[in-house]
Every structure is written in structure tokens, then in C-alpha cells.
Structure 1
């Protein structure tokens, strides 16, 4: 009886070794073998111990089988350790081992899909911008009359002030006349310098958009007083210059106004280009003047030029200390207005 039980146990062991939980017998390979299941043998993968897992049929842990000096491990257990898929084809007595899907491949695929989504959004935005550009082209005016009608539609009222805009000249030299409604004089006087500058700048920008490279200049006239409130032009550098704006109290309002006045009066002087920027306060004014170094070096009337600038500033800010730099040279003025250049 004991001999029969031992033989059945050995046959069961052979069956387990072949494909884990499947039983396979080849007609010409049945034989008795002696061996044992070891619970002390450890399996390491890349230096890290691994668990062989559980047999899905017997619900028992997989264990290495040792016989004749060799160690056997179920195919399904070792495939799991190596990250492979294993399938058993019973009718054909075949074991299939294959690679599992590559996680890196899946990651790259997700990234690709996200990039495709971004591209789709960008393409939609491009189409939207193209449609807007087409609309702008449709709205583009082709004559000064068209532009005048457009400006009066867009800028007939600003901050409770009503305006009338008239254009004259031609497409290369455009004169802009802006009239303040006589009944809105009080509203006009309440506008700040920056608000007026923005209003004029917007009008000039719209003209320049449709008439590239045109010389644009003009003025604002107050129909209540009949006087010119300010004048403006685009200088050789494409910058808007507003000048002669004295406001309702007969003087330049602030340093921004003073800066524009200097650019207008001395931005091109004795065939030399000067660019002014003012900072500080009304009691201490720093004047920075940009000029070509070679032009300034050869200029014979440096002191006279700076003293004219001083007189201009001192007229509006008589109590201010005035100093600054021109082409990296420091200058200031004494109590009589004479320049010290060093």
C-alpha cells in the first residue's frame, strides 16, 4: 500500500513541474523520479528577492522542486517573475510565452495623444485668428473719406467729450483736425494728460494701420474758446509727439508734458537728433538726453544747447533743481542758469 501511494505522489509532482497547474503526460516519457519541494530556496531578480506567487488551481504557494541535483520551477511562476505572459494550449500541448505590453510604450502613446490634442487646439486658434484677420481686411478703408467716417464713428465721444474729426491731404501726408464740442468745454478741461494722449494715440494708430508710412500730424481745437489746445505729429522714429498742450491753467501740467515739449522743440536741433526723458519730481528734475556720440563730440554749441533746455524747463518749473546726463556727461546749472558740463 505504501509503495502505491509513493508512486502516485511522484506522478503528481511530475505533472506540477510541467506548466504549474496543468497536467501533461507524454505517452513515452512517464517515469518515476525522486525529489522534494524546497521552501528554503530563494529566487532573486536583479538583486531583489521575489515571491513565486500562488498556484491559481491549488491555491498553494509555488515552490522550487529539486531532483538529481537540478532545481525546477513552474513555467507560470518564473514567467510572472520575469514579467512575461504565459498561456497553455492543451489540445496542441504547447506553452506560449510572450512579452507584456511595454509600459514605456503606453506612456509615449499617452504623451502623443496629449500633443495631438494641443495641436488641434492650436489649429482651431489659428483658424480663429485668420477669420479675425479676414474681418480686419474687410474693414480696411481705402480713402481718407472712408477713414474720416470710420474715425467719427469710433471716436465721436470720449469721456463725455464729443469730438468731430476731419482729415485732409493725401495718403502720404495726412492732416488731422480734431474739434472739441463747444458745449463740452468743462468735460475737456477735466481730462488728464494721459487720457488725452491715449485718445490721440488711438486715432493716429488707426490711421497708420491703413496708411502705412504716411506723415501724420494735426491738432485739437476747442470750439468753445476757438483756440488750439495742442498739436501732435509722428516723428522720424515713429513716435507720437504731443506739444503745446498748456491745459486750462496756461502751463505744462507735469513732467510727461515737459518731456514731450522738449522732444518737440529740441528732438531735432542743429541737424542732430536728441531724445529726452525726465524723471524725479517738480522740485528736482533729472534730464537724460540720448544723442549719437560722434555727433555730440563734434557739436560746437554744447553749453548753449543745454542752457536753452534749462530755460525751457525753468519757465514751467522755476523752483526746480535741474541736472542730468547727456552721452554719459553729467551736467547741472548754477543759480543764473549757466551750465556746468563734466
Structure 2
């Protein structure tokens, strides 16, 4: 059966899928859809969503919440960032680097400025197993045969946080590096955790108690200079 529906093709469709509410807007254009989906089976069990699925230009549209919750995953709509979260949710007290949490210090010990850093700059960063992140901190060398051996990036904490949580490893574009890099977490200029980062390793979990600390620092050290590399702190955030 063929039917015509008024609505926005982009933007409002996400709102409809997540909330299950019908959305219309002035200036929206007419689209033609087909209500010819007779059944949906999830793990061999027939399930019917409240909002009727439809086909548009050969693609079947089914409410996102219905599919995710039928597979046992929680769904959350973040209106501030216009983001749909499925499954694992961000902690309610999570604070990400960037915006109102800028670095307070950047140091490197080479004669030339051969290290570089970035954090939450709007790009997507991948780890060596293909996972993508838009919350991250990266520190690495920007060309081969540099004379720098160490770099330090520091952020203020002002005693406001309890935990630093992240995954540590090389970024995807560094998985062929021959470097073994030493990564150190510093709290108030004292080393509290040291890890070696090598090619071929899975990203490792970091969970650091930062209670009462005034600042946190991330130090990267390397001995040889044969290849470029970038170390990533993936999904790096602080918890209160």
C-alpha cells in the first residue's frame, strides 16, 4: 500500500525514531513511502513496533528505540549534543577535556619542537583495532629522526575530581611504528602510573584515582627516533 507523509527527511526523522512521536514542520517537503513491512523478527521472534515501519527509496526505516531495546540495549537521547546513545552510556558526572577544561602546560625537551598534541578538536580518532572516538587526547612526534625524547601535557584539576578513566594505546596511523613508548600519568608532579606502549598490543584500560589532586599530567618518553608515532588516550574523561 502506498501512502504520502509530510515531514522533514533529515533531522526530524531522528527525533521520530527515538521518541516515537510524529514530527512535522513548516517548510517540510512531501515524501513518498511504502507501508509494506508485514513482520519484523528479532532472534526468530516476531515483534511489532508501535510506530509502523516504512520503506523509502529501497531502505526500510524502523524505530531505533524499538530495535535497540529488543536487542537488550538501553537507548538515550542527549538533546544538548543531538546524540543518540545505544548500549553503554556516558557517566552522569563525566568531564571531557576541551571546552571548559583546557591544558595549563605543554613542555618538550628537544632542541626543535618535534612533538605535538591534540584533544577533542572535533575530529574522529581511531585506535589500532578500529574503534572510533571523538573524545581523546593524543601526543606524538610529527616527523622522523627528531631529537626530542620526552613531552608533557598538563591539565588543572583543582581537587574537583575522583577518577581519570581512559584507554591507552597507539592511534591507528601509528600501528606500524617500531617505537616502544613509555607513558606516565603524573599527579601534582608525582608519577602515579607508568605503562609501555608497543605496536601489536590492544588498547589498555586506565583507571586512576585523582582524589584531591590539583593537576594531572601525561608524559610520553621514547628512546629511538626511527619512526613517527602518536599515543592516544581514548575516551579520556574525569569523574567527580
TM-score normalised by L of structure 1? 0.20
Structure with the higher strand share, 1 or 2: 2
User: Which structure carries more relative contact order (alpha carbon 8 Å, separation 6+)?
Assistant: 2
Q: Which structure would you say has the larger Rg?
A: 1
TM-score normalised by L of structure 2? 0.28
Structure with the higher helix share, 1 or 2: 1
